Structure 1
Amino acid sequence: MTSSARPLTDLDYCSGSRILEMNKLMEELERREGSYLQSKEVLESCLKAKDYVFTLIEQIHPLPSPNSLLILSGALCSGCLDVSPVDLGSTSPLSCPPISYTILVPILRLPSPDLLHQTSPCHCLVPLSLWDPPHPQLSSTTSYVNPHNVSLWFTSSLLSAMSRLPAPDPHLCQEGAEPWGNCVSLLFSNSSDVFFRFDIVPVVEVHGWPTGAQYLEDWVDDVQGPPRLFHLLPWGAKGQWRVSFPGVELFLRRCLYPSLSRVLRASLAVLGPFLQGPEAPGPYLIWVTLLHACERLPVGYLSQAQNAASCFLGLLEELSFNFLRGSCPNPFLPGCDLLYGNTTGPYLAHRVAEVRTQPMTHLREAVKEAKEAMKGGEREEKEEKEQKEEREERGSSCSPS
């Protein structure tokens, strides 16, 4: 007697994609991207480049002391920080390799948010009197510290320090240093032509929480959690600074279930390129939408690895809906909408819907790009090794007498 066919319960209704196969592609993407830093040479070059950038920053005066820095994995517009291309005024002046970081440098540390003038839930003005003694290059027509003036001083100081310091290492090349918006981008490469990028942002660090903030105390732990502080980023209209919580968010990313980390990585790989366009809001929206999902979905669902693909599809659907309605509330700041005033919503909703109808195609393309990036590094490393062995053989060979 012939048994009945097994029902297909792992198919996505909208695209016909197999959930199991989608999960495997997301796992492969995570594995490919995660192994990019596995090479000993790449890791050593990366650490040398970081040390050199830290040395550069130490040359800038005056900066608060001790000068602890917050380093985020990913370039400035990779979704690790609340920033859009509009905030920076132009596309990136340097290429953006897979190995990139954003470094937040406090130019001012404040003990309380009460010292600020909060103009909206997501913007603040910083009184010039808080910079004591006042810096001559930060003169302003108003009584507030202007982010653009800070950028001019910070950029010139950093580039001047770079011209004075010797090269970081014989095997590490300085490929470029360019101002970008109110920050600076530095690009390095090693002898195997692996590139490392650092986006350096001058910020104001404030202890405590801004007025109206919510949910932050739920994540803070005096022993293991992030400190109670927030940062002001140097972009906003009319001399204002943007309220941001990168320290708390860095902690949250590290606490994500592996399945959700996989969803975030896949979403950034697939959607990131067109969310970084000239009028686009930036891929930070992906992270915020994922946080909203964590608020309403049970832990038992989010923590299951087999649910990663379903979460990925749901994230695409919610992003498309957000773009259509032109709204994506900040999870920590009621009244702060990340899509307020953005006019590209319908276009972006259409682009996300295209990905939703063919998720497998876009995931395969992301895996292919990750493979090519890895193969390029491996090929260059293998060629260099073969050339070295060939030189050694020639040096040790004996000529006939």
Structure 2
Amino acid sequence: MGGPPEGDENDSPTAPTTTITSTCALHDHLSSIWYHFHDTTLDNGALGRAAAAGAGYASTTELAGGAIRVGFAPVEAVIARGTYRSMRAPFDEELAVKEVPRHYFCIICDQLMSEAVAAVPCGHEFCSACLRYFKEKSVGEPLCPICRQDMASMPLPARRTRDMISRLKLHCPFGLSFDVARGSFVPLLTVDDVVRAAAGNFCTEILELSRMWEHVVNCPSRPVGCSHQNEGCREVVRFASREHDRVCPFNSRFCRVCGYGITEGESLDEHEKYTCQAVEVGCPNANLGCKERIARGDLAAHRKVCPFEHPAVKEAILCAVKRKNGLEVRLEGLDRDLLMERDEALFHRVLAESLEGQAEKMRRCTKKSGSGSAVEGAEPSRRHSLGSSKPFSLIARCFGGAAPSPSRQVHWKA
């Protein structure tokens, strides 16, 4: 297995868009990352200080008065004083949740088979790459490493074995810790409470081998170097953790409100608006009536004592608000009906006044037309017909309308 990659520890390969059943790429990647460890061997404090100076440790912490040392180390870093014991990637047996049957392991590389194939004619199974390499290095006709039969024919894909291996349940490697004293990886859920608490937010995922590659690349608990390691910081933190960035002495960007460092990729305005713990914000129950304004960092403590947080109070207030909203809707409907009635009454009153005015004009016009006929000297007893539309034209002019047709005969009695 190779050592840790050079360059920025935050760099990570792009996760494939499809799941892979081959374990080769997974093994190569697991050999190039950092792992958590805990050391309970005697006199480990001196080793921790020396290792931090030059043996490859990036983050070490002494617990229980120096009796326990925890931290992160890259693959191949020396982790035991006076010995050649070094950090390594976890074995397949250590990642597996249950014991893996031995026939799933390749006899050539002693690892889980990658793209398993079956030799012909014996049917023994190996990794595809291992069997190809074995045939290339064989002198003469290649013989099966198990039964020594001739296997000159092309091997066949062992599809059933590939499917069974891809379904194996494995622990996430970032939920394990290397026990220096025992020389093996153990789940952090089974270690001492002090070590488990110091490990931070480790991963507890259990997933199939076919999904392991994508999960390892994107796991939020993956150990990575501080984003300010180019400035000199040697701390190693969890991939999704931002707490170290806020207090990192190499972070030159600080919030003017809380005094902590601002994380990489976050602007000052975004920090003050969303994450600054010193900025005053309203209670989440402000819509229920709470008027308190507290620092964002004290919000959790306030919610424990906020009277509006009680379920019974919330339910009562929400019911009252719902009833109030219903009454407001009904009141708006009544107001709308009242306005419509007022508009209708006003319309009828204006219409009546208009009709009364038109009738008055008609009476005046009729009286004026009758006086004109008497001046012309018409005989009172004479019945005559009006063949012209002069009176109607006068009425039409008074009302601004068209005169009635002259064919209509109206008899006036003087």
Normalising by the residue count of structure 2, what TM-score does the alignment of the two structures yield? 0.22
TM-score, normalised relative to structure 1:
0.22
For the pair shown, the structure with the greater C-alpha radius of gyration is 2
Does 1 or 2 have the higher relative contact order (CA < 8 Å, sep 6+)?
A: 1
